[in-house]
Amino acid sequence: MTAVGEALRRCRAEGRAALVGYLPACFPDVERGIANLQALLDGGVDILEIGLPYSDPVLDGPVIARAADVALRAGSTTAAVLRTLEAVAASGAAAVIMTYWNPVEQYGVDRFAAAVAAAGGSGLVTPDLLPDEAEAWLAASDAHGLDRIFLVAPSSTDERIALTVRFCRGFVYAASVMGVTGVRERASVQAPELVARVRRYTSLPVGVGLGVGTAEQAAEVAQYADAVIVGSAFVRCVFDAGDDAPAALRKLAADLAAGVRRMPATG
């Protein structure tokens, strides 16, 4: 079992959902990016999702796309992303890389998988890769013992969900809304039904991402999902706080961590 699997198992034993925090690597530069990820852990994030900055981020909304642009201008490379992963994993963090598929192919699929494993990572989230087109990644992830986290969405048919979860390992990423990343005023009304549909086909944990940015939203999603994934709210926090980003990230992470630990109302 990977470190991510262990973290999910531990959270389930505690009777709560896991909090997954996303930030792009090298944002705003390599060293401050590592410090920001460490701040998420210090605030109570259970699992890190480290983004590989990419120039054509089709799933990312304007906040994360802007952060990726900052990281690329600061000199982000695949090597720097792997260095970031190694630094946070060395501190005991459970971490995965979120990456579009083209950089992995350019680097070499097996070479990339080997590097992620060597750096202490647990696997990849691949938003633009379909499992039935992922033969090379399926082989590489098996060879190096990595989790492979594919996405399902409210528009996914039952047949597509069944096929996708069959190839997932670690957890299933349920995109709570259609469209790109970004905080929404209200939690998705489609997400509970999507999670219920996913559970018909797998016993893997289900993480819900896109649109969560407050403790109240985290608490709501934690009532029906195994993991609450937060990205844009953390990225915006870095933009807003500037040099004070680590302290601001710790506070926001602590608020969200309290949300996933909130007991459901009774009566």
pLDDT at 165: 97
Active site residue 86: no
Choose among 10, 25, 23, 227: nearest CA to 119.
25
The Cα–Cα gap between 103 and 51 comes to: 12
Paired with 209 in beta bridges are: 175
pLDDT at 62: 84
pLDDT at 91: 92
- List all residues 6 or more positions away from 191 whose beta carbon is below 8 Å from its beta carbon: 154, 174, 176, 177, 208, 221, 224, 225
Choose among 11, 4, 102, 13: nearest CA to 52.
102
Catalytic residue among 29, 31, 49, 132: 49
pLDDT at 82: 97
State the 10-residue block means of pLDDT for the chain, 267 residues long: 96 95 96 96 97 81 89 93 96 95 96 98 96 96 98 94 97 78 60 95 93 90 95 94 94 96 66
Active site residue 243: no
Round to the nearest angstrom and report the end-to-end CA distance of the chain.
Answer: 39
pLDDT at 182: 53
Per residue in 118-159, pLDDT (tens digit) is 999 999 999 999 999 999 999 999 999 999 999 999 999 999
The beta strand positions in the chain, using DSSP E, are 18-24, 47-51, 94-98, 123-125, 147-149, 151-152, 172-175, 206-209, 227-230
pLDDT at 262: 86
Contact 88, 50 (CB under 8 A): yes
| Helical packing angle, 30-43 and 78-90, nearest 10° | 30
The Cα–Cα gap between 147 and 171 comes to: 8
Domains along the chain with CATH numbers: 18-261 (3.20.20.70)
Judged by DSSP in three states, 36 sits in helix
- List all residues 6 or more positions away from 17 whose beta carbon is below 8 Å from its beta carbon: 11, 221, 222, 225, 226, 227, 228, 260
pLDDT at 176: 76
Catalytic residue among 46, 60, 147, 226: 60
Percentage of the chain beyond pLDDT 70 is 93
Choose among 171, 266, 146: nearest CA to 228.
171
